[in-house]
Each structure stands twice: as C-alpha cells, then as structure tokens.
C-alpha cells in the first residue's frame, strides 16, 4: 500500500465498499419485496422499523469509522500491534453496544414501536419485525465495524 500509485489503490479498495453497499441495497429491496407479498401491514412495519435500523447502522459506523481511522494511522506509522488492538477494541465495543441496544429496546419494545410511528393496526407487525431486527443488532453493528475497518 505504501508503494503503489494512489489511483490504483483507490480503485482496488473501492470494490469492497461498492459490493458492501450493493449487498445492503439488495437486502433492503428483497426484504421489502418478500414482505410486500404478505400484506400491506407487514410492509408498513418494515418501513417503520427502518428508522431504528438506520440508528443501529449509525452506531456501527461510529465505531467503524473511529477505529478504522486510528488503525489506518497506526498502520501508516508501522505500529501493527496498536492497530491490531484497536481492531479488537472497535469490534467488541460495537458488539457490546449492539447487545445494549437489543436488551434495552426489548424491554420497551411496544412503546418504541409507537415512538417510531406505528399505529394500532400495524403495531403487532411492527413489534414482531422489531424483535427480529433487535436480535440481529449486535451482529449488525459488529459487521459494520469490520467492513469499515477493512476500508480504512
């Protein structure tokens, strides 16, 4: 990385980023498509829960960008040991943050569904979908950290 031209590196390192963004877009499209086959209430629940998913992603990006920036500076300085430590700290801290989100939101899942914009008719669907998303929150935050660390 220290010897190749910057233009070549940017193109090579952009591919994982592009693929990651495409996978996320395809996931959201497939999710909406298959849920849309069920009924309109389920589709509405996906739309309501999407804002919480964005917050979970933002927390993953927070730890990923912070640790990734630190890692890239340490790798540039040749300090591999500190970069490795930060990689682990960023990953496990984000995973722990995901667990805190999951547990905290599970306790208040019904009020949270109304806070996100659910109505009486779609509230059961929103709660059901929220549970699934919250169970995956630790994995989502941790995977976003790894993705961002790789990019940095």
DSSP string, 114-151: HHTT--TTTHHHHHHHHHHHHHTHHHHHHHHHHHHHHH
pLDDT, tens digit, 9 for 90 and up, residues 24-54: 778 777 777 787 777 778 788 888 888 899 8
**pLDDT one-digit tens code per residue, 80-135:** 999 999 999 999 999 999 999 999 999 999 999 999 999 998 999 999 999 999 99
- Please determine, for residue 142, whether its predicted confidence score (pLDDT) is greater than 80: yes
Length, in residues, of the chain? 152
Asked if residue 17 has pLDDT above 80, the reply is no
pLDDT band at 1 (very low <50, low <70, confident <90, very high): low
| pTM score of the predicted model | 0.78
């Amino acid at each position: 990385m220290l010897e190749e031209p910057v233009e070549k590196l940017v193109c090579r390192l952009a591919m994982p980023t592009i693929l990651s963004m495409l996978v996320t877009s395809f996931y959201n499209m497939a999710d909406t498509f298959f849920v849309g086959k069920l009924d309109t209430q389920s589709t509405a629940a996906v739309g309501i829960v999407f804002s919480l998913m964005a917050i979970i992603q933002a927390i993953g990006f927070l730890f990923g960008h912070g640790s990734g920036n630190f890692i890239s500076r340490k790798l540039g300085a040749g300090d591999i040991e500190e970069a490795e430590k930060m990689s682990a700290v960023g990953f496990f801290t984000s995973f722990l943050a995901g667990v805190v989100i999951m547990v905290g939101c599970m306790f208040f899942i019904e009020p949270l569904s109304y806070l996100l914009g659910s109505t009486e008719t779609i509230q059961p669907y929103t709660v059901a979908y929220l549970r699934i998303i919250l169970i995956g929150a630790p994995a989502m935050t941790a995977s976003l950290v790894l993705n961002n660390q790789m990019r940095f």
